Amino acid sequence: MGTRSDSGGGAYTTPTEWKLWNQTKLSQSQFERLTAERLDAESKRLRDDVGTRVTSSRREVSQQFSTRIRDLQYWSTNLESKTSEVGTEIDALLQCQAQLQRMHHACGDPIAVVEQCLQLRERRSHVDRCLDEVQSSLHDELRTLRQGEMVLGRTAIEAAEQIRLLRSAKFQLDRDLADKSKASEIDSTTVGLADSVVGDGRTPRLLSDLVHSSQVNATVHFPWSTPGADLGGNDRNAGAITKANRQTTPTEWQSFTERNIQEASEQVHRSLQLRVTAMSVMQDIIRDTRSHANQVDQLFHDVIDRTRKALGALKSEHSAVCQQIQETEETASGLRAAIGAQDAPLGSAIQQLARRTARPNVEFCRDSVQNCLETRVDVVRTSLRQLQEKLSQAEASLRRLRQSKFDLEQEIAVKEATLRIDADHCMNALRRNMVLPQP
C-alpha cells in the first residue's frame, strides 16, 4: 500500500487501498461491537448470577445466624440452669458447713464437763477411789466426744474446700454464660444489618476496614493452648491464644461449654455426697453422744444410790456402836463398883483369920469356923478375879468399839465426800446443765 499524507497536499491512495482500509475499519468495528455485545450479555448473566448468589448467600447467612443464635440460646439456657443448680448447692453446702461448725463448737462444752467430772472423781479417797463402771464410761464418753469433734472438724474442712471448688465451677459457668450472652447480642444485632456501604461511601473490602484492631479483645481463654492438647480438667484454662492467630472450631466451642457443665455437674455430685456424709456423721455423733450420756447418767444414779445405801448402813451401824459404847461403859462402871464392893468382905474375912491365929495352945485348931473363913476368902478372891477379867474384857471391848466408831466416822466422811462429788458436783452442777451437740 502506498503512503498516505494527512495534509491536503499529500500522496493519493489507490482504490484498492481505499477498499482495504474501509474493510479493515469495518471489521475492527464489528469485532469490537460483537465483543461488547458478548461482554454485555456476560455482564448481564454475571449480574443475575451474582445477585442470585448474593441472595442465596444472604439467605444462607441468615439461616446460619438463626442456627447459631439458637445454639447460643440452647447452651445459655443449659448454663443458666447449671449455674442456678450450682448456686443452690453452694447455699445448701454453706448451711451444712454452718451446722458442722456449730456442732464442732458445741463439742467443747460436754468435753469440758466430762473432763471436770473425771478430775473431781480423782478426789475420791480410800476405798471409794476405785475404777468403777462410771469411771470407765466417762473415759468412753470423753473418747467418743473427742473423736466426734475431730470428725466434725475434718468434715467442715472438706466442706470448705468443696465450696471453693463449687464457686470456681460457678465462676467458669458465669464467665461462659456472659460470653455467650454477649455473642448472642452481637449476632442478634448483626443478623439485622442490611447490605450497605460504610459511612464515607467506600465499599468495605477487608475486616480491618470496619473493625480496628484496638476494638478486638486481645486474648480469649480456652481449655487448651495448642492444637491437640489435652482437653481434660488438668489443662482447663491452661493457656490463652490470640484471636488474630487462631479461632476456635465449633467442636472446640461446644466442648468448652460441655466441659464447664460437666465439671460443674461433677462438683455438684461430690457436694451432694459430702452433704449426705456430713448429715450421716452428725446423726451418728448425736446418737452416740446421747447414748453415752444416758448410760453415764444411769450409772451415776446407780452408784449414787449404792453409795447412799452404804452411807445409811454405816450411819445405822455408827448409832448402834455409839449405843453399845454407852452400854459397855455402864457395864465397866458396874464391874468397877462390884470390884470395889468386894474389898470390905475380903478385908473382914482376912482380919478374922488373922485374929484367930492368936488362939493359945490346943485351941489353935482348924475348926469349922476356920474352914468357913478360908472358904469365904477364896470365894471373894475368885469373884474379884472374875470381875477383874470381865472388866478387862469390857475395857478391851470398849477400846475396840471406840476404834470401830472412829473407823465408821471415817468411812461416813469418805462416803459423804463421794456423794458430794458424784451427786452434787458431777450430776447436779455439771451434767444436769451439759448441752450435747446439736445440728
Q: In this structure, what are the phi and psi dihedrals at residue 163, rounded to the nearest 5 degrees? A: -65, -40
| pLDDT confidence of residue 406 | 92
288-324 pLDDT, tens digit per residue, is: 888 888 898 899 899 999 989 998 999 999 999 999 9
0.75 exceeded by the pTM?
Answer: no
Q: Find out whether 204 and 198 touch, Cβ atoms under 8 Å.
A: yes
Please report whether residue 375 resides in a domain: yes
* b/e sequence 349-370, b meaning 16+ C-beta within 10 Å: beeeeeeeeeeeeeeeeeeeeb
Q: What is the DSSP string of 353-419?
A: HHHHTT--GGG----HHHHHHHHHHHHHHHHHHHHHHHHHHHHHHHHHHHHHHHHHHHHHHHHHHHH
Query: Cell digits for 64?
Result: 446460619
397 found inside a domain: yes
Is residue 175 in a domain? no
What is the predicted pLDDT for the residue at 78?
Answer: 92
Which class for 226: exposed (0-12), middle (13-18), buried (19 or more C-beta within 10 A)? exposed
CA 423 to chain CA centroid, Å, is 35
Q: What's the domain range around 321?
A: 309-356+368-433
CA distance 418 to 256: 73
- Is residue 7 included in any domain, yes or no? no
Position 393 in a domain: yes
Please state, in angstroms and as integers, the Cα–Cα distance from residue 22 to each residue in 29, 31, 32, 253, 375, following that order. 10, 14, 15, 71, 210
Q: How far apart are CA 338 and CA 91, in angstroms?
A: 98
**403 within a domain of the structure (yes/no):** yes
Q: Which of 202, 183, 199 is nearest to 243 (CA)?
A: 183
The whole-number pLDDT of residue 93 equals 95
Q: Give the per-residue pLDDT at 66.
A: 87
Q: Within the chain, which residues score under 50 in pLDDT?
A: 1-6, 197-199, 206, 213, 218-245
Is 82 part of any domain? no
Give me the number of domains the chain comprises: 1
Question: For residues 80 and 67, what is the distance between their CA atoms, to the nearest angstrom?
Answer: 20
Task: Give a yes or no: residue 324 inside a domain.
Answer: yes
pLDDT digits (tens, 9 = 90+) for 216-264: 554 444 444 444 444 444 444 444 334 444 678 888 988 999 999 999 9
pLDDT at 99: 92
